[in-house]
Homo-oligomer: A and B are copies of this chain.
Amino acid sequence: MAAFRIGIFTSGGDCPGLNAVIRAVVAAASQHGWEVYGFIDGFEGLLSPVRYRILEENATVGIASLGGTILGTTNRGRFATRVGLGQIQQIPKAVLDEVWETVEGLEIGGLICIGGDGSLTAAQQLFEVKLPIVGVPKTIDNDISATSISFGFYSAVEFVTQALDRLRSTATSHRRVMVVEVMGRYAGWIALFGGLAGGADVILLPEIPFHYEKIAHEVRKRIAEGALQTMIVVAEGARPDHGQFVTQDEETEKGVLGEIRLGGIGRHVAKMVEQMTGQESREVVLGHLQRGGPPTALDRNLGMLFGVAAVRLVEQKRFGEMVAFQNGHVGSVPIREAIRATKTVPPDCEEIAAARAVGIAFGD
C-alpha cells in the first residue's frame, strides 16, 4: 500500500521561518510514515503535474535556519485574488479545475498552504470546492487578526533594531536626523516594535496620521536639550495628516502625496525635517533587507509549532482550518474567519502608552 501523501507550498512575499514550517511538516509527516510533496513557486506549482519535488526527511535537516523558502514563492500569477484592500476576485473555474487535477492525479490527501491574507483567500476558495486544504498564516507585518503572533515578524523587528543600532553611531557622530523607512503598508507593528527596541525618538505609523510641525518641534526640542541626534522610524504606509495639505489622490502622482508615492515616505520626511529645522537629515530605506536572513530563535520555534499543528489538522481531517496562535497556545480557526480583518496597531495599546511615558513621539 502506498504511503499517505501530503502537499505543501509557500505563497506570497517571503518571510523568515517559512523553512522552519516546511522542516517541521516534513519531520512530523516522516514520523507518521507519510510522504511530502513540495509544490514549487506557490499556487503556480498546483497548476502542473510535475512542478513539485519530494521532500525527504534527511534532505531538510538544517533548513530551519535558512531565510526564504526552499520551495520558491510568487506574489503574482493566476491566483492573485486581491486587487485592492478588501476586494476579492474569484479564481476562474478553469484554474480550479487544473488544481483539482494536480491534487487528484498525485493522490494528495492533505494540502498545506503557507500564505498571507491573499493566499489564504485563495485557499478558502479551494476548500470550498472540496480540496483537502489547511492553512498556516504567513505575515511578516504581523497583521493577520486571527493569530496573535506569526513567524517572521520578530526576525524583521530584530533586523530593524540592529539597523538602528548601526545608524545611531553615524547620526550621533554627524549630529544628524536619521530617518529610517521600514515595512508596514497598513499596519505599523514593525515600525513600533523595531523603533522601540532600536531607540527611536519619533515613530510614525499608518495608524496615526502625523503632523510635520510636530516632528519638527520634537527635533528642535531635542537639539535645545543637547541631544546629538534624532532617530525617526517611519512605516512605509505612514502618511501626514491630510488636513495639513491639499489632499489629492496618491495615484495621480501630483502634489505631496504623489511625491511620497514616487520617492517613498522616508525621503519625504527627511526632506521636510531638513527644510523645517535646518538640521542635516538623511534617510535609509531598509526594504528587502528586512525579509531575508536566518530567522530568530522565536520565529524558528513558532514555525516548528505551526508546522506540527498543520500536520495534526491534516491528520484530524480538519480541512478549511488555519493554524493560529491565541492566548499563548497554538490552536486553529476556520480560514474564512481568519481573512476577514487586518490587525492594525491600536493607538492606545500598551506599547504606545509605554513609549509615550518615556518621551517617544508619534507625530500626533
Given contacts A173-B14, A174-B14, contact A297 B168 (CB under 8 A): no
Does A354 touch B at the CB level, under 8 Å? yes
CA distance A114 to B186 in the complex (A): 37
Docked complex: A155-200 residues within 8 A CB-CB of B: 157-161, 163, 165-170, 172-175, 178, 193-194, 196-199
> Which of A23, A194, A308 has the most CB atoms of chain B within a 10 A radius of its CB?
A308
Distance in angstroms from A12 CB to nearest chain B CB is: 10
CA distance A293 to B193 in the complex (A): 20
Does A106 touch B at the CB level, under 8 Å? no
Contacts of A312 in B (CB 8 A): 357
Does A49 touch B at the CB level, under 8 Å? no
B31 touches A173 (CB 8 A): no
B297 touches A288 (CB 8 A): no
CA distance A68 to B72 in the complex (A): 26
Contacts of A8 in B (CB 8 A): none
A351 touches B289 (CB 8 A): no
- As a 0/1 sequence over residues 1 to 28 of chain A, the CB contacts with chain B under 8 angstroms (1 = contact) are 0000000001001100010000110011
Docked complex: A119-171 residues within 8 A CB-CB of B: 148, 154, 157-161, 163, 165-170
